[in-house]
Amino acid sequence: MGLLSREKSGCRYNAEYLSQIAAYVEAIHELGYPSERVLFELPHTALKLDLAILSDDGAVVVLGEAKRALVMLDRILTQVQGRYGSEDPGEQGRNEARQLAWRLWQTRAPYLWFIGPGERQAYRMRYAPLGFDALPSLPRAEDLGLARRPEHRLPVPILR
């Protein structure tokens, strides 16, 4: 991963990448998650998650969603709950709220971490119906029982 996204006409700066890298470093160095548990810019088979923190069995405990700016966050969360709160909407569609709902339903991650430039917002998730309980910050690794370093880097989860 770099700070540029490749396109047919060349490259462009991707504003989300810098925030993703900063959140990756924050998760490891400030919140105590071992680097072997923290993955970012995951492939298609892992739902193209921006960031994921995994349990020992490879389940997504923290789903990280990067945005260029978090100003539209309230609207996205309202749409997720209102339109997709009762069932998985499926992968189809380029709508940000639908994509986030699909990723949440597929992973059933207990925590959602919104990542933006200089800003983070954390939520404890509820399912059936989908709901967001705001937290002051993402819990530390030790609080979730994830501070122990695995023997090897955890593999990218196959989520589809």
Burial of 11 (0-12, 13-18, 19+ CB in 10 A): exposed
- Dump pLDDT digits (tens) for 16-62: 788 889 999 999 999 999 999 999 999 999 999 999 999 999 999 99
Mean pLDDT, to the nearest integer, of 147-154? 96
Q: Give the residue carrying structure tokens 């490259």.
A: 11
Higher pLDDT among residues 103 and 92, named by residue: 103
Cα-Cα-Cα-Cα dihedral sign, residues 41, 43, 49, 54: negative
Domains and CATH numbers, the chain: 4-144 (3.90.1570)
